């Protein structure tokens, strides 16, 4: 290093980076090669003292605080996404939330919705600050309503994301919240506008998959949202397949689920497709059931704590199976209409009922966020069952799934509503979706009052 004495070498050996024997008056290497040797010596460096003077004598200050409201919101969100506690890890929503920070600055509605999510999560986890959480949720609803009434804000990706974020906040704040059809219908209306006017290209594919999933599911169990050709084209994703997820099946994929509404509307016209979809479920069911059993065994192994990767795998596996069970139950209901005397279909329905109860039990250790789809599966399966000992058992499972009777009763209320809708569709009495955008805004406003 500079300033430290090096080994004694002549200049010729030093320049050639060769060893020098240090003989005087000339070293052996120079004598052998016929080089002029000045004799060995130690090369030293002279240090020159320098004085530095700062022109600005003011103290240097490092700002740890965010410079804007958007930055503060983004920092809080990213901190929330770092939570790894079982049951409160945001893994089901992480991919969606990771795409929000860069949009916060340009969208007051999205910013308010993210603030509401953060405070709602804190209330769900710690049971504190409920009034503040409700206040932020109300402010977010107001911000979204303002955006919906302003054409320059309404028809933007950020407003769609704000509505979806509101639904997540609602789920955390009033867990387990029954899905809001008004929110889903509004997102459906905005997506239709996006396709028609070209701004659908501004969506990242992963965001489209997130916001369309709830629409697809609700369209399957309720007739208020009629999926149109543009929507089916929208959810087609050739580059995305079941293998892209930790554990997904074709039965539970967007494009497959979106077909169920067609089957409900015209069972006779789609009888072959319905039977094919049902048989596909039967093929996919055993391996994912086995995967769920292994996930359950790993979860109760005290000698091997769950890693973050294993936790993610487990909750996605349980969710995929529960989604499959809900879809299969609806397909079974349609097939029972087409083949009313097929006893095997009744046996299958009882099997689906038992599996829905089992899946809810084994995934309950991941409550509340990690098992978020369990209640929806339970009520969907119940809504397509005939009154029987099995349906009574399933109703008891729904009521007992939560620690308080009020929550169980609310979900049984949803189950009864879904059963009414399903029975009407089986009797060819579908209800029409409200098409007026003004009416949708009014309905959206009403759901927050």
- Give the Cα-Cα-Cα angle 96, 166, 448 (nearest 5 degrees): 165
- In a domain, residue 142? The reply is no
Which of 39-53, 136-150, 309-323 is the most confident on average? 136-150
CB 370 within 8 A of CB 87: yes
- Higher-confidence residue of 304 and 357: namely 357
- In a domain, residue 426? The reply is yes
* Six token digits for residue 258: 């979106």
Q: Which of 27, 43, 59 is the last residue of a domain?
A: 43
* Sequence-ordered alpha helix ranges (H) in 252-307: 254-258, 260-265, 271-299
CB 401 within 8 A of CB 378: yes
Residue environment code for 261-299, b if the CB has 16+ CB neighbours within 10 A, otherwise e: bebbeebeebeeebeebbebbeebbeebbebbeebbebb
Alpha-carbon span 275 to 259, nearest angstrom = 13
Number of structural domains the chain divides into:
2
Confidence of residue 406 (pLDDT cuts 50, 70, 90): confident
Alpha-carbon span 342 to 94, nearest angstrom = 44
Alpha-carbon span 327 to 350, nearest angstrom = 15
Confidence of residue 302 (pLDDT cuts 50, 70, 90): low
Show the domain range for 366: 242-435
- Please state the separation of Cα 448 from the chain's center in Å: 24
* Six token digits for residue 302: 């005290």
Contacts of 276 (CB under 8 A, 6+ apart): none
pLDDT in tens, 216-267: 998 888 777 889 999 999 988 544 444 344 455 788 888 889 999 999 989 9
pTM over 0.85: no
- Higher-confidence residue of 181 and 109: namely 109
What average pLDDT does the segment 172-190 reach?
81
pLDDT in tens, 33-84: 667 777 776 555 444 444 444 444 444 343 445 558 889 999 999 999 999 8
Judge residue 20's burial from the number of C-beta atoms within 10 Å of its C-beta, 0-12 exposed, 13-18 middle, 19 or more buried. Answer: buried
- In a domain, residue 302? The reply is yes
pLDDT in tens, 79-112: 999 998 888 999 889 999 999 999 999 999 999 9
CB 408 within 8 A of CB 379: no
- In a domain, residue 34? The reply is yes
- In a domain, residue 354? The reply is yes
- In a domain, residue 325? The reply is yes
Phi, psi at 41, each rounded to 5°: -160, 165
CB 235 within 8 A of CB 258: yes
CB 137 within 8 A of CB 173: yes
What average pLDDT does the segment 147-153 reach?
93
Q: What three-state secondary structure class fits 4?
A: coil
pLDDT at 402: 81
pLDDT at 440: 59
CB 378 within 8 A of CB 355: no
CB 133 within 8 A of CB 166: no
What average pLDDT does the segment 431-447 reach?
55
- In a domain, residue 443? The reply is no
* Six token digits for residue 139: 């402010």
CATH number at residue 7: 4.10.240
Q: What percent of the chain has pLDDT over 70?
A: 82
pLDDT at residue 327 is higher than 70: yes
pLDDT at 243: 39
CB 95 within 8 A of CB 210: yes
- Give the H or E element holding residue 216: helix 205-221
- Give the H or E element holding residue 408: helix 405-426
Alpha-carbon span 166 to 93, nearest angstrom = 13
- Higher-confidence residue of 159 and 435: namely 159
Alpha-carbon span 228 to 235, nearest angstrom = 11
- In a domain, residue 137? The reply is no
Q: What three-state secondary structure class fits 82?
A: coil
pLDDT at 297: 86
Contacts of 9 (CB under 8 A, 6+ apart): 19, 20, 22, 40, 41
């Amino acid at each position: 290093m500079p300033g430290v004495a090096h080994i004694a070498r002549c200049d010729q050996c030093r320049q050639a980076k060769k060893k020098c024997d240090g003989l005087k008056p000339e070293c052996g290497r120079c004598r052998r090669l016929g080089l002029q040797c000045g004799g060995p010596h130690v090369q030293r460096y002279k240090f020159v003292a320098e004085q530095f003077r700062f022109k600005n004598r003011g103290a240097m200050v490092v700002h740890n605080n965010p410079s804007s409201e958007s930055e503060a919101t983004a920092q809080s969100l990213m901190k929330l996404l770092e939570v790894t506690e079982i049951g409160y890890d945001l893994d089901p929503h992480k991919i969606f939330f990771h795409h929000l920070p860069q949009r916060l600055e340009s969208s007051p509605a999205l910013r308010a919705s993210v603030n509401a999510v953060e405070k709602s999560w804190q209330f769900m986890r710690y049971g504190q600050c409920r009034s503040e959480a409700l206040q932020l949720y109300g402010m977010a609803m107001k911000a979204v309503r303002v955006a919906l009434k302003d054409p320059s804000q309404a028809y933007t990706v950020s407003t769609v994301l704000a509505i979806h974020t509101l639904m997540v906040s609602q789920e955390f704040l009033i867990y387990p919240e029954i899905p809001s059809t008004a929110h889903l219908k509004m997102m459906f209306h905005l997506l239709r506008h996006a396709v028609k006017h070209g701004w659908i290209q501004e969506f990242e594919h992963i965001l489209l998959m997130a916001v369309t999933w709830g629409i697809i599911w609700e369209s399957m169990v309720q007739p208020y949202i009629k999926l149109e050709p543009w929507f089916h084209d929208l959810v087609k994703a050739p580059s995305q397949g079941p293998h892209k997820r930790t554990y997904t099946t074709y039965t539970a994929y967007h494009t497959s689920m979106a077909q169920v509404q067609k089957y409900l509307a015209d069972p006779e016209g789609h009888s072959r497709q319905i039977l094919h979809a049902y048989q596909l479920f039967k093929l996919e069911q055993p391996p994912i059931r086995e995967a769920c059993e292994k996930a359950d065994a790993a979860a109760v192994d005290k000698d091997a704590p769950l890693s973050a990767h294993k936790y993610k795998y487990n909750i996605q596996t349980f969710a995929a199976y529960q989604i499959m069970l809900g879809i299969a139950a609806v397909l079974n209901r349609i097939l029972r209409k087409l083949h009313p005397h097929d006893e095997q279909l009744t046996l299958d329905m009882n099997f689906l009922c038992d599996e829905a109860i089992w899946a809810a039990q084994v995934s309950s250790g991941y409550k509340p966020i990690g098992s978020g789809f369990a209640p929806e599966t339970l009520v969907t399966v119940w809504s397509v069952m005939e009154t029987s000992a099995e349906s009574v058992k399933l109703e008891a499972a729904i009521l007992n799934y939560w620690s308080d009777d009020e929550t169980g009763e609310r979900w049984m209320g949803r189950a009864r509503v879904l059963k009414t809708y399903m029975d009407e569709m089986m009797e060819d009495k579908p209800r029409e979706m409200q098409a007026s955008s003004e009416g949708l805004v009014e309905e959206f406003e009403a759901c927050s009052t």
